[in-house]
């Protein structure tokens, strides 16, 4: 199920809205509509105006979050990192990058870019508000249209400060890792930053027991994020220098496109693999996996051919490519195995299981 909707591109980067964003947007709008000035608009008597202002404030807030992520992405692109997309989620935005640069100086710049954008937006909006408030600040704050300027500016300043907390993998945690990586190995810096991030998440969770569920949810995502990035970094470091030819399976048994799905299931029982290249007259036509089989009802498998369910858009690598490249491709494309070719002939296949088993052995 596709849980994100692409709404456009900025700087060539696909901008997506996650389903959780579509759910939280009206919640934020409601929050602004029921809160008093200066943090809401419940003093606006006309309901349609009150809700329009509240929704505008909520949309403006998430536009600022998007600009925050574009700050990260701009610096990343300047240093050669490919940005796959920016997705707006329940708790903000996420820039999906092919790889976090291992150069501490570049990571430091990238991590600071987002909060700097938030600080810039917040400062400009507060200055604009203060300029119009020179004569009478009480009159200005009672103007709901000027109140949006102050509210979004204030929230951006809070976002700036919050994002710089040393809770890895938040921006402040990445700044911390970049600083540590200049003084110790990259993997040790990641473990240290992740450990601090997890501790921070635990304290935030305890605080949330008294302050509210929101803090507990944020703490949960920080803890999970720190754990996942720590493991991801360890895997990448461990696999450095490992070639696909060192870990791939060479005894590849292909199947033909005319084989029925029922025959394929028997084939899988016999050879104990969950994915096979589909070959016709020495030409690789595609790849078929157990996931493809599951999409076919059991009673129809006898009449459905592999050619009807196989994946035709093949992703291949060479045996001299890095194992890390295979893992990245699998993650980005959400696949479990990649065919390895040499001069257009199949020489092997590498699966996610092959890679993770190798990581366990190398560790």
Tens of pLDDT, residues 272-331: 788 888 888 777 888 888 888 888 888 888 888 988 888 888 888 888 888 888 888 888
One domain for residues 62 and 200:
yes
One domain for residues 186 and 268:
no
One domain for residues 264 and 218:
no
Token pair listed for 155 = 């929230």
One domain for residues 21 and 112:
yes
Rounded alpha-carbon distances, angstroms, from residue 127 to 134, 138, 145 = 11, 16, 15
Instruction: Specify the pLDDT at position 137.
Output: 58
Out of 238, 265, 300, pick the residue that ends a domain: 238
One domain for residues 98 and 166:
yes
Tens of pLDDT, residues 195-234: 999 999 999 999 988 887 878 888 888 888 888 888 888 8
String of b and e for 162-185 (b: at least 16 CB within 10 Å)? bbbbbbbbbbbbbbbbbbbbeeee
Element (H, E) at 283: strand 283-289
- Mean pLDDT computed over every residue of the chain: 86
If phi > 0 it is left, if psi is from -120 to 50 it is alpha, else beta; for residue 12 that is: left
Chain-centroid distance of CA 32 in Å reads 28
One domain for residues 171 and 194:
yes
If phi > 0 it is left, if psi is from -120 to 50 it is alpha, else beta; for residue 217 that is: alpha
From CA 86, how far away is CA 99, in angstroms rounded? 14
* CATH number for position 323: 3.10.580.10
* pLDDT for residue 99 is more than 90: no
* pLDDT for residue 156 is more than 90: yes
Could you tell me where the beta strands, DSSP code E, fall in 53-195? 83-89, 92-97
* pLDDT for residue 122 is more than 90: yes
Instruction: Specify the pLDDT at position 139.
Output: 56
Place of tokens 């796959």: 84
One domain for residues 219 and 292:
no
One domain for residues 55 and 203:
yes
Q: Which of 48-52, 93-97, 290-294 is the least confident region?
A: 93-97
Confirm if 298 and 286 have CB atoms less than 8 A apart: no
Structural domain for 282, as ranges = 244-362
Instruction: Specify the pLDDT at position 135.
Output: 63
**Which one has a higher pLDDT value, 114 or 217?**
114
Q: Per residue, what are the HEC states of 317-344?
A: ECCCCEHHHHHHHHHHHCCCEEEEEECC
From CA 114, how far away is CA 109, in angstroms rounded? 9
Show contacts of 32-35: CB within 8 Å, 24+ apart: 32/57, 32/58, 32/151
One domain for residues 188 and 265:
no
Confirm if 16 and 96 have CB atoms less than 8 A apart: no
One domain for residues 341 and 307:
yes
Q: Which of 69, 107, 229, 230 is catalytic?
A: 69
* pLDDT for residue 114 is more than 60: yes
* pLDDT for residue 2 is more than 70: no
**Which one has a higher pLDDT value, 179 or 140?**
179
Instruction: Specify the pLDDT at position 132.
Output: 79
* pLDDT for residue 169 is more than 80: yes
Is 229 assigned a catalytic role? no
Beta carbons within 10 angstroms of residue 121's beta carbon: 23
Q: Which of 114, 127, 134, 132 lies closest to 153 in space, CA to CA? A: 127
Instruction: Specify the pLDDT at position 337.
Output: 85
SS3 call for 151: helix
Rounded alpha-carbon distances, angstroms, from residue 130 to 60, 133, 137, 146, 286 = 19, 5, 8, 10, 63
Instruction: Specify the pLDDT at position 177.
Output: 93
Instruction: Specify the pLDDT at position 133.
Output: 75
Beta carbons within 10 angstroms of residue 103's beta carbon: 15
Work out how many domains the chain is built from and give that number: 2
One domain for residues 113 and 201:
yes
Residue 339 buriedness (CB in 10 A; 0-12 / 13-18 / 19+): buried
From CA 289, how far away is CA 353, in angstroms rounded? 14
* pLDDT for residue 140 is more than 60: no
Confirm if 273 and 336 have CB atoms less than 8 A apart: no
Out of 209, 238, 267, pick the residue that ends a domain: 238
One domain for residues 233 and 248:
no
**Which one has a higher pLDDT value, 204 or 131?**
204
Q: Which residues pair with 317 in a beta bridge?
A: 340
Mean pLDDT of 71-100: 81
Instruction: Specify the pLDDT at position 64.
Output: 92
Instruction: Specify the pLDDT at position 248.
Output: 87
Out of 238, 259, 274, pick the residue that ends a domain: 238
Instruction: Specify the pLDDT at position 197.
Output: 92
Mean pLDDT of 58-81: 90
Mean pLDDT of 347-359: 86
Instruction: Specify the pLDDT at position 198.
Output: 93
Proportion of the chain above pLDDT 70, given as a percent: 96
């Amino acid at each position: 199920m596709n849980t994100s909707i692409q709404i456009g591109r900025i700087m060539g980067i696909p901008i997506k809205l996650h389903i959780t964003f579509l759910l939280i947007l009206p919640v934020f709008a409601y929050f602004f509509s029921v809160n008093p000035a200066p943090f809401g608009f419940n003093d606006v008597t006309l309901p349609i105006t009150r809700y329009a202002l509240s929704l505008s404030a909520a949309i403006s807030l998430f536009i600022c979050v998007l600009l925050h992520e574009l700050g990260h992405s701009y610096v990343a692109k300047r240093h050669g990192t490919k940005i796959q997309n920016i997705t707006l989620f329940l708790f903000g935005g996420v820039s999906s990058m092919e790889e976090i640069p291992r150069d501490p100086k570049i990571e430091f710049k990238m991590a600071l870019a987002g909060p700097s954008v938030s600080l810039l937006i917040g400062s400009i909006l507060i200055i604009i508000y203060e300029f119009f408030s020179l004569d009478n600040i009480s009159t200005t704050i009672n103007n709901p249209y000027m109140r949006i300027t102050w509210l979004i500016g204030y929230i951006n300043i809070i976002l700036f400060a919050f994002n710089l907390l040393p809770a890895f993998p938040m921006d402040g945690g990445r700044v911390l890792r970049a600083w540590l990586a200049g003084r110790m190995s990259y993997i040790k810096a990641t473990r240290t930053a992740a450990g601090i991030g997890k501790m921070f998440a635990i304290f935030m969770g305890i605080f949330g027991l008294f302050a509210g569920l929101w803090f507990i949810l944020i703490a949960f995502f920080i803890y999970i994020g720190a754990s996942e990035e720590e493991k991801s970094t360890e895997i990448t470091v461990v696999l450095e220098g490992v070639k696909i030819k060192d870990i791939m399976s060479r005894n590849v048994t292909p199947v033909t496109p005319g084989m029925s799905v029922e025959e394929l299931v028997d084939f899988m029982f016999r050879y104990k693999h969950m994915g096979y290249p589909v070959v016709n007259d020495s030409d690789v036509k595609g790849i078929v996996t157990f996931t493809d089989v599951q999409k076919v009802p059991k009673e129809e498998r006898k009449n459905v051919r592999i050619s009807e369910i196989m994946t035709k858009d093949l992703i291949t690598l060479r045996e001299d490519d890095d194992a890390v490249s295979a893992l990245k491709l699998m993650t980005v494309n959400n696949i479990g195995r990649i065919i390895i070719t040499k001069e257009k002939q199949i020489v092997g296949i590498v699966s996610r299981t092959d890679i993770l088993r190798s990581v366990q052995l190398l560790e």
